[in-house]
Amino acid sequence: MKTCKCKLMKTIQALAFSVHETALYLDGHPTDRRAISYFNAQNEKLREAAATYEENFGPLTSNGFSGDGDWTWIKGPWPWKYEANVCEN
């Protein structure tokens, strides 16, 4: 079964949000060990989801995984387009 691109992107956005939000908190509370373990756990999940996305749909950053074929970084729709934010299925 092929992973749904739109669902996976939503998961990545949610994980990236929790990682970023925790990072902002940690900037001001750098000794909060509970927050650090939450950050590490969420970050690990984000890395896994991003790797799955890149294998199936192309790189998320210009130094991300592009495969052996053509350069897929430039492949649209780019994130600000309506089509990039709705489910293709």
Partner 1 sequence: MWLYDKKLQYPVKIKNPNPKYAQIIISQLGGPDGELAASTRYLSQRYSMPYDEVVGILTDIGTEELAHVEMICAIVSQLTRNLTMDEIKRTGFDTYFVDHTAGVYPVSAAGVPFDAKYIGVKGDVIADITEDLAAEQKARVTYDNILRLVDDPDVCEPIKFLRQRELTHFQRFGDALSIAQRNMDSKNFYGYNPAFDKKTPIQPRYR
Give least dist CB 63 to partner 1, A: 7
Give least dist CB 7 to partner 1, A: 12
Give least dist CB 57 to partner 1, A: 10
Q: Please identify, using beta-carbon distances, which residue of 1 and 24 lies nearer to partner 1.
A: 24
Q: Please identify, using beta-carbon distances, which residue of 63 and 89 lies nearer to partner 1.
A: 63
Six-digit token string for 20: 């970023």
- Look at residues 11, 4, 7 and name the one whose alpha carbon lies nearest to residue 46: 11
Provide the 10 A C-beta neighbour count for residue 34: 7
